[in-house]
Structure 1
Amino acid sequence: MGEFRPVPEVLVYLAGSWRVQRSVRDRASGDEGRFDGITVFSALKEGGPGHDGLLHEESGAFVWLGVARPAERTLRFLPGPTPGTADVRFADGRPFHDLDLTSGRHIADHPCAADLYRGEFTVRDTDHWRTVWRVAGPSKDLLLTTDYVRVG
């Protein structure tokens, strides 16, 4: 993907509902899975006036080795340290990664025990963005590609 769309304010851009399609590939075994669902970014009242963020709620079905299971996750996107950026946290408040889409593209790392999660975030236009997470560690070699399409 050669061209990226700059996003001056990531929290404004993400607000709303997105259709989500994620492919998951285990690069060691060759196994593949798929998640299909919806992600809703809704107002999160935290930190007082002018410091609100977004609650990220994702739900859908994950198919792995032919077996479909319900799947969901919740994240918090808080205002970042510089205008237009976000501080992404797990539902329990633990830090996950930073997010700065002011250039339309961002790389973020998240160390997790012996594994390293490296995410690349790219914005195509007002209604399409993508994340690609590469997970590497002693027992993991995964590639997770997620496409988001704005609903409505």
Structure 2
Amino acid sequence: MAEFWPVADVLAHLAGRWRVERDVRDLASGERGHFRGMTVFGSLEGGGLLHEESGTFTWQGVARPATRTLRFLPGPTPGSADVRFADGRPFHALDLGSGRYVAEHPCAADLYLGEFTVLDADRWHTVWRVGGPAKDLVLATDYVREG
């Protein structure tokens, strides 16, 4: 049985720089991709954190720059956050008070199911399973604190 690292204050825990490694598997085609880069959780005006991810995504042998921006807003408890897309649309809730959380995000005909696990003070992991008429993906990401 896996052990999880409970997080009393999710925004304080995530603040800073994290090295990111993400494996992407297309279960229908068998194709695999890989993202390698950095995520920075910086202060957001009005409270919360701005999540800015940048790096290189390699798919079918072609490497391309890739970025993503999210907003982590304070949740109802210190161990939780309200995760939003860059434009403010809701993405999912996040509660790492126990060190593990399962999130859900319906997106058009697709369903994103995410599992977040905190391994220790400097490492956490996510697995997103994306299913729908045109998607059958697994995205597994490891985060390791920088410095």
Partner in structure 2 of residue 4 of structure 1: 4
- The share of aligned pairs that are identical, in percent, is 73
Cα offsets for 1:98-140 (capped at 9, x unmatched): 0000000000000000000000000000000000000001111
2:40 matched to 1:40? yes
Aligned length: 147
Partner in structure 2 of residue 124 of structure 1: 119
Q: Secondary structure at the match of 1:11?
A: helix
d(CA) in 2 for partners of 1:42, 1:140: 32
Partner in structure 1 of residue 68 of structure 2: 73
2:90 matched to 1:92? no
d(CA) in 2 for partners of 1:131, 1:89: 17
Deviation of 1:81 after TM superposition, in Å, equals: 2.0
Deviation of 1:71 after TM superposition, in Å, equals: 0.1
d(CA) in 2 for partners of 1:90, 1:141: 22
Paired amino acid for 1:62: F
d(CA) in 2 for partners of 1:73, 1:5: 26
Deviation of 1:24 after TM superposition, in Å, equals: 0.2
TM-score scaled by structure 2? 0.98
Cα offsets for 1:3-49 (capped at 9, x unmatched): 00000110010000000000000000000000000000000012xxx
Q: Secondary structure at the match of 1:61?
A: strand
2:6 matched to 1:27? no
Contact kept? 2:10, 2:78, Cα under 8 Å: no
Q: Secondary structure at the match of 2:25?
A: strand
Partner in structure 2 of residue 104 of structure 1: 99
d(CA) in 1 for partners of 2:50, 2:99: 21
Q: Unpaired runs of 5+ in structure 1?
A: 47-51
d(CA) in 1 for partners of 2:100, 2:79: 13
Paired amino acid for 2:37: G
d(CA) in 2 for partners of 1:28, 1:41: 33
TM-score scaled by structure 1? 0.95
2:109 matched to 1:133? no
Following TM superposition, the consecutive aligned residue runs of length 4 or more in structure 1 with deviations greater than 6 angstroms are: none
d(CA) in 1 for partners of 2:6, 2:79: 11
Paired amino acid for 1:26: D
d(CA) in 2 for partners of 1:54, 1:83: 13
Please provide the CA RMSD for this pair.
0.7
